[in-house]
Amino acid sequence: MNERFFNTAARKGFHWPGRILAGEGVLETWLAERGTGGLAVVADRAFAGHPLVRRAGGPHALVAREPNRDDIAAIAEDIAATPPAAILALGGGATIDAAKAVAAQLRFGTLDIRDRPRGAILPQLVAAPTTAGSGSETSRFFIAADPVTGIKVSTRSWSIVPDLTLLDPLLLQGSGAPRLLLGAFDAAMHLWETHIARGERSPFTGALAQGFLPRILAALPTLAAGAEPGGATLLALMEASAMAGVAISNVRTGLVHSLGESLAAQSPLAHPLTLRVFLRPALESYADAVRPHVAPLMHALDGAAPDGAPWSVARFIAAWEGAFAALGHDDLIRTAFAARQPSAKALLATAARDTTLAKENPVPFAEGDLDRIAAAGLAAFAR
């Protein structure tokens, strides 16, 4: 598979080389069937003492932050002392990213793995996410910071898509509505932006958006009320996150992500909060252009999430704004901006380097459009 392949208006494709098992207790079942011999566990601190981790011999590495290249080298060196047949990543996006990078180092001896062919190379990589949103459990990306500059570098390769993804809603229990909402929004924006991309979208990723965005929006009233969802809803959120990871592996994200990730260079806000800043101005800038294309999606939302129907781009924006305000997330953004107001100039300089943005935005940018959208997002949270 050519790593540089992306869809165009004239040529469509779809690829994903992993496998998924989903359901309550699938992690315990997998461990019981496989056994724990030759298994290295990379976990976050919240799950270090989990009974299933203890059964596997305890964590071989703990991930307490977004990984940098020094962290990855140290973990890989430690694990390589007794080369495992498989690595189990148990945690959120940072943990799974770290495990992907460690697998790359052990498989290929380097993190520079773009265009490396995927084959039956040990160790096997198994991802058991404990969050629902980043999509790392199924995507072909990992992010690792440069230890000197702190700049985050994204690596893309089909060779490090987890061989097996275990979606177990038991691992999501007790997460709390605020955390679940952030993950749900991240997954929703992955599905949304791959669906409305101008050239790279395809019928295949469109089907993912129409199939899984409604599951997220159906859960939104429960999350906005601060309630703990049941197991079926937790599994639906995990499945949506996983399919969003597949989608972003085939279609690059758009305006909300480009501006949000540019803001992240200046702010300690969590990734979904940086996306939230630009939700309204970005989507309103192209709402008219995408309305015919998203009509089937809105129809699916009317059936799956009748609260607030009929759905539209405007309703989609308002639903997320209401949920973020209800759970206090907007206040977190305002507090962060009060402590350090982001520089619009620096943000735009970073976003302008995204050459995909102008190509994939649903409408071509006129002079000053990007400036106005960025300024509107920042102004909405200024104190």
Q: Would 8 be classed as within a structural domain?
A: no
Provide the total of helices (H) and of strands (E) in the chain, helices listed first.
15, 8
**125 and 253 fall within a common domain:** no
- Domain end call among 112, 146, 171: 171
Q: For the residues of 148-217, what is the DSSP string, one character each?
A: TT--EEEEE-GGGS-SEEEE-GGGTTT--HHHHHHHHHHHHHHHHHHHH-SSS--HHHHHHHHHHHHHHH
Q: Per DSSP, which regions of the chain are E strands?
A: 20-22, 39-44, 61-63, 86-91, 124-129, 141-145, 152-156, 164-167
CA distance 264 to 272: 10
DSSP character for 340? S
pLDDT of residue 62: 87
Who's near 332: CB < 8 A, 6+ residues apart?
269, 273
pLDDT tens figures, 340-361: 999 999 999 988 888 788 888 9
| Collapsed DSSP state (helix, strand, coil) of residue 6 | coil
Q: Are residues 142 and 203 in the same domain?
A: no
Strand order in the sheet with 124-129: 20-22, 164-167, 124-129, 86-91, 39-44, 61-63
Check whether residue 273 and residue 375 sit in a common domain.
Answer: yes
**215 and 341 housed in the same domain:** yes
Query: Strand, coil or helix: what is 369?
Result: helix
Q: 167 with 229, same domain?
A: no
* Domain at 132, CATH number: 3.40.50.1970
Among the listed residues 303, 320, 330, the one whose alpha carbon sits nearest the alpha carbon of residue 220: 320
**Judgement on whether residues 327 and 206 belong to the same structural domain of the protein:** yes
- Name the domain count of the chain: 2
- For residue 290, the one-letter residue type is V
pLDDT of residue 154: 83
Looking at residue 64, its pLDDT comes to: 79
> 177-196 vs 279-304: helix axis angle to the nearest 10?
100
347-354: long-range contacts, CB 8 A cutoff, minimum separation 24: 347/259, 347/262, 347/263, 347/265, 347/266, 347/374, 347/378, 348/262, 348/374, 350/261, 350/262, 350/265, 351/258, 351/259, 351/262, 354/258
Residue 95 lies in a domain: yes
Would 56 be classed as within a structural domain?
yes
Do 182 and 326 belong together in one domain? yes
Residues of the chain with pLDDT under 70: 1-5
- Is 97 a member of any domain? yes
For residues 299 and 152, membership in a common domain is answered with no
**Which residue range(s) make up the domain with 347?**
177-379
Q: pTM of the entire structure? A: 0.95
Q: What is the pLDDT of residue 5?
A: 67
**Amino acid identity, position 172:** L
3-state secondary structure of 329: helix
* Contact in structure between 212 and 243 (CB atoms under 8 Å): yes
Final residue of a structural domain among 152, 171, 190: 171
Question: Is residue 14 in a domain?
Answer: no
Whether 53 is covered by a domain: the verdict is yes
- What pLDDT score does 253 carry? 93
Strands 20-22 and 164-167, how do they pair?
parallel
Question: Does residue 316 form part of some domain?
Answer: yes
Do 184 and 295 fall into the same domain?
yes
- Residue count of the chain, please give it: 383
